[in-house]
Structures are given as structure tokens and as C-alpha cells.
Amino acid sequence: MRVSELASKESPVSSPSDAALQYVITAENLTKRYGDVTAVDGISFRVPAGEAFGLLGPNGAGKSTTMKMIGGVSQRTSGSLSIMGLDPEQHGPEVRAHLGVVPQQDNLDEELKVRDNLLVYGRYFGLPMSYLKPKADELLEFAQLTDKAKSKVDALSGGMKRRLTIARSLINEPRILLLDEPTTGLDPQARHILWDRLFRLKEQGVTLILTTHYMDEAEQLCDRLIVVDKGKIMAEGSPASLIREYSTREVLELRFGSERNASVGAELDGIGERLETLPDRVLIYAHDGEAALEQVTARGLRPVTSLVRRSSLEDVFLRLTGRSLVD
Amino acid sequence: MSVLTGNFNAGDHSVTEAARRRRFGPIYSRNVRAVVARGLMATKSSNWMVMVSGFFEPVLYLISMGVGLGAIVGSVQGPGGQEISYAAYIAPALLAVSAMNGAVYDSTWNVFFKMNFAKLYQGMLYTSLGPLDVAMGEIFLALLRGAMYATGFTAVMGLMGLITTPWAILMIPASVLIAFGFASFGMGITSFMKTFQQMDWINFVMLPMFLFSATFYPLSVYPQSIQWFIQAMPLWHGVELLRQISVGVFTPATAVHIGYYLVMIALGVLLTTSRLRKLFLK
């Protein structure tokens, strides 16, 4: 905050919203109710410019609703929200001029060809053709769709459509990119291409706001994230700090067969720091997973399979909510 | 890959910055032309047969009713009390119908599809377009089509020798006015429709309006109460307006017909904008 205050004192020509620019998004007590259902229940967060910020949570946690409110296409019930210093409800078109949006479901213009999708979308932002033509070609390259420029949209694969949607969202060189479940429904290879592209954008200083229910995606892409469940923030921090705080370094996964998993719990008592019994497996949280496994076998227990792995955000979520992320 | 170098720098490009510094309203970004440009580009790939058939429908009516039925009817009394051929009597009415059809087709079926299946408006409203830009752009496209039909039909009237006064050229802008009224209302009403069955109600309203709005015979054949009902309907005002223009006879009623459409346009744009706002900015 202080840096920008100083800067604005030194240069009187800068716009009055400079002080707010350090945080590109500020949400306080943001709440959204649909009738009796509270989709977003008083969440507060701030996102500084250039950060990759994630909203991690299961389906129905209120992530998409939060994204819609940021984009100004959903009105909040209460609380305050500021995007680039502007209230998206009062200044919808102006706020969205700064945004790039990748919605959960592709809504490409099927009546237009691939390149025309980019040109027309750019026109919606009031951008001139002299800028849009080279920009569209550049983005097609970026999305690896140059040879599809003249194709119809419905001839593209799912991964290509997704990449085109992302390319389209960049046509106005947004300061903030909103990505709602960007890789849901993509095969692993397509996901990795996409992650690579998003990494590059982040390197160029674009603020990424990302919802996901994939913990690997959140770990890969996010500097910081909030874990959301039932419209509330359960925890906030970097992926590593969340794992440190809410989980152990390693996890030992044991499978004893579906009938035994529940009953074996008492016999494992005292091994590791914490024990989690799921229908299909038992998780032992321990600093040293191999050591924990030795203790298990020393007690004469013979699991069908055993696996030692690093803790992930999935474990954080399980700890915070008692449920898995992907049901 | 130039995305990664030089001119791609998190939005400090001068052109994109300039686009952000435009004056914006809460629901309007002064960019109707982008919506229109998109519509024209999409038309290139659309079905031309549908557009052409919309033009021929009133022409076929004019030939069968005007020429065929007209041979039995002979001449009838025009708006100024003068004798005109039956074909010249119904031609302006059919022009009004054609303006209505063009505008309604574009603003109802096309809009219904874009709203519910192509999800076009959701995409548009995630850009710096506001709902008013989208509504005005879509209505303008409907008008363009209405104007094309009107011009074609007026030309056909000329070829058939049904135009007797230079005033008749004013039928084209008047048709656009009629189309504007129907398009602005049609889009608003379509926003309430959720299923194809509901969309059929539109035809259910349009067909009787076409048949009974003094299109083929004067209003005086009806009892008084039915006359009032017909006079409340928009198409009747369009039919009467164009019929007056076609013979160059203007009365105070001309102003009433025009006023009717101006009010209809204002209410229609208001309805459509507020509906788009409600549907997509909820």
C-alpha cells in the first residue's frame, strides 16, 4: 500500500485509483443468496497484481458464483467488491474491459470461424481491426491453432476449443484472467499444454484467478489459494504452507479390502500423527511414511496395497471438511 | 512466438489501454456496431434460403390475392376515397406484413436460439459490452433485414404498376419503423420463452393479426367492438400507415400511426434491455 501512496504523491497526474491498484481485487464479506440458498457466505480476500490466486473447493462450494460476481455478471446480495478500484455492479462494462474470462463451459461463437471468433470478440472490447488482425494471429500461434484459423468451431476437439477460449480471453490483453475450472473435461496431455500456457501468462504479469477442484492443478498454478466449502473460506495460504499447516509431510495409504478398512482403525492406533478412515482406504499422516509402514507390518497387519506419498491439498481439504474434493 | 516477447505485456499496450479509457455506462459501452458487425459476419455462413423465402412470401400473396382475387373484386376505395385496384389496395398491407415478419423472425427465433443454445449473449456480456449494446445491435440487425424485404417488395410493387405517386418511396423508411417496433418488442418477449412450444405462441399471435388487420378488406366490415380491438393491434397501424403513404394521402391519423410505433419502440427497447439485464446480470 505504502509504495503506491508514495508514488501517487510524487506524480499528481496518475489516476485516483492508484492506491487500489496494488490489490486488483478486494472482496469483503461477499455474500450471494439465491432464495434460501446461500451460495457464497461472507467471504473476504484480496489479490495483489500479478498473483495466481486459486479458489479450491468441491462442486457447489460457491467458486463459480464468486467468479461471476467478480466479472460483474452476477449481483451480490451483500458485502463489498472492488476490481481495479471499481465496483463491478456499477461499472460492469468498464471492469470487464480489464478482464479476460474463461467460463466453465466454452461459449465460442459457433457461427463464426476460428480466427473470426477472436476478431469479433476483440470488437466487443472496442478494439480496432488494425490491432486485432496481428493480435489474432499471435494468439492462434499461442494456442497452437494457427492451422485451424479458417476451420469451423465445431470441428475442433475439446482441448482445442478450450485453448481457443483462452486465446479469446487474451484478445484485450487483460490485467486479470478469470479461469473457471479451466481443465475440467480435458485429457492429461491437453491439461499440461494449458498449464504451460497459463504459466507463461503469469510470467508476463497477468493476474490469474482460477477455480478448480483438482488439487494438482491448484498446486501447480497457484501462488496462494483459498479453500472454499459451502460458501465459506476454510483456509487461506500458499499450497505449501497449507499442506504444512494442515497435514504432515507424508501420507501412508493402506488398503485392507472394503470390509476390513473400517475395523482396522483401532489396531493402527498410535502410528503416525493422525488417522483418516475412508471407505476404500486408510490414510496415516506421518512425517516419515516408510517408518510408519514398518510399524504397521511390525504389528502383524498385512494391507493388500500400501503407498507412501507426499501430502497434497486433497489431504488439506479432507482435514478441513472431513470430505474428499472429488466425490 | 511474439506473445512471449515485446508487445505482450500484461495490458500496457497503448491500443488496449485506449479501449479501456473509453467512457462507459453501467449497461452501455457505445459499441452497438460490434454486435452488428458480428451479425453480418455470421450471416455469411447462414442459410440464405430462409432469408429469401421470407421475401417471397408476401410477393406470392400479392400475386395470388391481388392479381387472382383482384380480377373478381375489381377496384376498391382507397384511403383518400379514390378508386384503386384491389392489388394496389392490399400491396402496402402486405409490405407491412413483410416488415413485421422479417423483424419478428430475426428478433424471436434467431434470438431464442442465440440466447438458449448458442449462449451468445453470455459470451458478449462477459466483455465490455453492456446489455443495451447487445439489445440495440440485435434489433438493428432485424431492422436491416426488414429494410431489405421492404425495398425488394416496393420494387415488386413498382414492377407490377401499383405505384402511382412518388410518396410511395417513403414506404421504405416507414417499413423500417414498423420493423423497429416489432423487433424491439419481439426480442423482449422472446427473453421470457424457455421452450419451443412457447415460441409457437408467437405464430399463434402473428397469423390472426396478419389475416384480420384490415389487410385484405377495410376495417368497416367488423362490428364496432372488434374494430376497436383491431385498432389496438400494432399491425393495423402499420397497414394503415403504409396504405396512406402508397397513395400520398395524409391525415391526422398518420401521426397517430407513427406515434403508436414510437411508443412501441421505446417500450420494447426498455423491456428488452431490462430483460437482458435480469437474465444475464443476475
- Residues A109-135 have a mean pLDDT of 95
What is the rounded distance in angstroms from the CA atom of residue A4 to the CA atom of residue B83? 82
The rounded mean pLDDT for chain B is 87
Which conformational region is residue A128 in: left (phi greater than 0), alpha (psi within -120 to 50 degrees), or beta?
Answer: beta
Highest mean pLDDT, choosing among B33-37, B77-81, B110-114: B33-37
Q: In this predicted structure, what is the pLDDT of residue A257?
A: 85
Q: What is the mean pLDDT of residues A130-154?
A: 94
**Tell me, what's the pLDDT at B10?**
41
Please state the rounded mean pLDDT for residues B124-151: 89
Which pLDDT belongs to residue A280? Answer: 85
Cα distance from A111 to chain B (closest Cα, Å)? Answer: 6
**pLDDT band at A82; cut points 50, 70, 90:** very high
Q: Is B24 on the interface with A (CB under 8 A)?
A: yes
Query: How far is the C-alpha of B230 from the C-alpha of B163, rounded, in Å?
Result: 27
* Among B5, B9, B16, the residue to mutate for chain A (most A Cβ within 10 A): B16
Given an 8 Å threshold on Cβ–Cβ distance, is B1 in contact with A142? yes
- pLDDT tens per residue across span A23-56: 999 999 999 999 899 999 999 999 999 999 999 9
* Nearest-by-Cβ selection for A131 from B2, B15, B41: B15
Nearest CA to CA, how far is A90 from chain B (Å)? Answer: 6
Give the nearest chain A residue to B31 (CA atoms): A126
For A151-183, write each residue's pLDDT tens digit.
999 999 988 999 999 999 999 999 999 999 888
Q: Which residues of A touch B40 (CB under 8 A)?
A: none
Could you tell me the pLDDT band of residue A142, with boundaries at 50, 70 and 90?
confident
Distance, in angstroms, between A217 CA and closest chain B CA? 22
Amino acid A294: pLDDT: 93
Q: Does pLDDT of A237 surpass 90?
A: yes
For the residues A57-69, what does the mean pLDDT come to?
A: 90
Q: Do A116 and B34 touch (CB under 8 A)?
A: no
pLDDT 10s digits, B17-39: 888 888 888 888 899 999 999 99
Instruction: Tell me which of A100 and B132 has the higher pLDDT.
Output: A100
Distance from CA of B42 to the nearest CA of A (A): 6
**Are A277 and A265 spatial neighbours (Cβ–Cβ below 8 Å)?**
yes
Chain A CB within 8 Å of residue B115 CB: no
Distance CA A272, CA A132 (A): 59
- Give the least confident one: A136-150, A160-174, A233-247, A257-271: A257-271
Q: What is the reported pLDDT for B2? A: 36
Overall average pLDDT of the B195-199 stretch:
86
Best residue in B128, B134, B136, B274 for a mutation probing chain A (most A CBs within 10 Å): B128
Inform me whether the pLDDT recorded for A17 exceeds 70.
no
Does the distance separating the beta carbons of B281 and A73 come in below 8 Å? yes
Inter-chain CB proximity B10 and A204 less than 8 Å: yes
Chain A touched by B5 (CB under 8 Å): no
Say if the Cβ atoms of A173 and B10 lie within 8 Å: yes
- Chain B CB contacts of A142 under 8 Å are 1, 3
- Residue pair B246/B92 in contact (Cβ under 8 Å)? The answer is yes
Residue B84: strand pairing partners: B76
How high is the pLDDT of residue A5? 39
What DSSP state is assigned to residue A49? T
A113-117, B11-15, B146-150, B182-186: segment of lowest average pLDDT:
B11-15
Q: What is the pLDDT of residue A212?
A: 86
Mean pLDDT of A93-104: 92
Measured between CA atoms, how close is B34 to chain A, in angstroms?
Answer: 5
Query: Which whole number is the average pLDDT over B144-159?
Result: 90
Confidence of residue B195 (pLDDT cuts 50, 70, 90): confident
- Across the interface, which of B13, B25, B120 has its CB nearest the CB of A109? B120
Q: pLDDT tens-digit profile of B214-232?
A: 999 999 999 999 999 999 9
Which pLDDT does position B117 carry in this prediction? 77
Quick one: pLDDT at residue B118?
73
Record: contact A123-B34, CB cut-off 8 A: yes
Confidence of residue B5 (pLDDT cuts 50, 70, 90): very low
CB A144 within 8 A of CB A180: no
Which pTM does this prediction carry? 0.83
* pLDDT (mean) for A46-70: 92
Task: Say what the ipTM of the complex is.
Answer: 0.82
Is B44 at the interface with chain A, CB within 8 A?
no
Residue A312 per-residue DSSP state: -
Contact yes or no for B24 and A125 at CB 8 A: no
Question: B10–A71: do the CB atoms touch at under 8 Å?
Answer: no
Q: Residue B47 — very low, low, confident or very high, per pLDDT cuts 50/70/90?
A: low
The string of DSSP letters for chain B reads: -GGGSTT-STT--HHHHHHHTS---SS--S-HHHHHHHHHHHHHTS-HHHHHHHHHHHHHHIIIIIIIIHHHH-EEE-TTS-EEEHHHHHHHHHHHHHHHHHHHIIIIIIHHHHHHTS-HHHHHTTTT--HHHHHHHHHHHHHHHHHHHHHHHHHHHHHTT---SGGGGGHHHHHHHHHHHHHHHHHHHHTT--SHHHHHHHHHHHHHHHHHSSSSS-GGGS-HHHHHHHHHSHHHHHHHHHHHHHHT---HHHHHHHHHHHHHHHHHHHHHHHHHHHHH--
CB B146 within 8 A of CB B179: yes
Taking an 8 Å cut-off on Cβ atoms, the answer to whether B123 and A121 are in contact is yes
CA-nearest residue of chain A to B26?
A: A91
Nearest chain B residue to A123 by CA: give it.
Answer: B34
Beta pairing partners, A235: A227
Q: Taking CA atoms, what residue in B is nearest to A88?
A: B26
Q: Give the chain B residue nearest A119 (alpha carbons).
A: B38
Give per-residue pLDDT as tens, A260-292: 887 888 888 889 999 988 888 899 999 999 999
Do A124 and B27 lie within an 8 Å CB cutoff? no
Q: How confident is the model at residue A325, as a pLDDT?
A: 64
Contact A224, A241 (CB under 8 A): no
